[in-house]
Amino acid sequence: MPYSEILKFTLPDDASSGQTIEFYVSAQLTSSPPEWSNFVIAIEYTDGPLDALPVLLMGSDYWRIPKGSDARWAFPLPAVGQEVTLFVRIPGISAGVYTITAKVGHINESWEEDARQTKQMTILQAPSEPTPSDTYASMSSLISSIMMLMLIFMLMTVMRTLLE
């Protein structure tokens, strides 16, 4: 019988590479578990382009979660129905498809999982900034177009003069 549930598990759906993304997991106890001394929220880096996912928790703790592993954070045992939230930041994320699983449970002598939710997010490659040579090439093209229009205008003026 599950004693807990995941209330909210958000992942961004419009992030680009290089950004710092934020998400959170909220969970609660649904009934009083026997023999639980803590309440644990775990983040599993299930799959993605990196060997290990760098995360900042609650704004300060830095972790690297290897692919296929999880990192667990224990909280004091909350009252039934009390929401517990873990805030996570991933700095400078790389492009790719990531699968992340949020898990809830407790640790007495070993980890015991009670509930889980898995989500995917796609991080797009950020558009690159134009280089000076790209800027020069576009300016050169613009100047050539303007000169061509001036030449056409001059030819039309000469043709009109000759026809009169």
pLDDT tens, 105-154? 999 888 889 999 999 999 988 876 666 666 666 777 777 788 888 888 88
Domains in the chain, number? 2
Judge whether 65 and 6 are in contact, CB under 8 Å.
no
Same domain flag for 103 and 133? no
Both 11 and 37 in one domain: the answer is yes
Residues 144 and 97 in one domain: no
Q: Provide the pLDDT for residue 132.
A: 63
| pLDDT value at residue 7 | 92
Q: In sequence order, what are the residues at sequence separation of 6 or more whose Cβ sits closer than 8 angstroms to the Cβ of residue 58?
A: 86, 87
Its domain, for residue 20, covers 4-123
Please indicate, yes or no, whether residues 94 and 18 belong to a single structural domain of this protein.
yes
Based on the domain organization, do 12 and 72 belong to the same domain? Answer: yes
Rounded Cα–Cα distance for residues 67 and 86 (Å): 20
* 96 has a pLDDT exceeding 90: yes
pLDDT of residue 98: 94
pLDDT of residue 135: 62
135 and 155 in a common domain: yes
Same domain, 92 and 154: no
- Asked whether the predicted pLDDT for residue 56 surpasses 90, the reply is no
- Tell me the percentage of the chain whose pLDDT exceeds 90: 49
- Please name the residues in contact with 9: beta carbons below 8 A apart, sequence gap of 6 or more: 23, 24, 25, 26, 102, 117, 119
155 and 88 within one domain: no
Verify that 22 and 44 share a domain, yes or no: yes
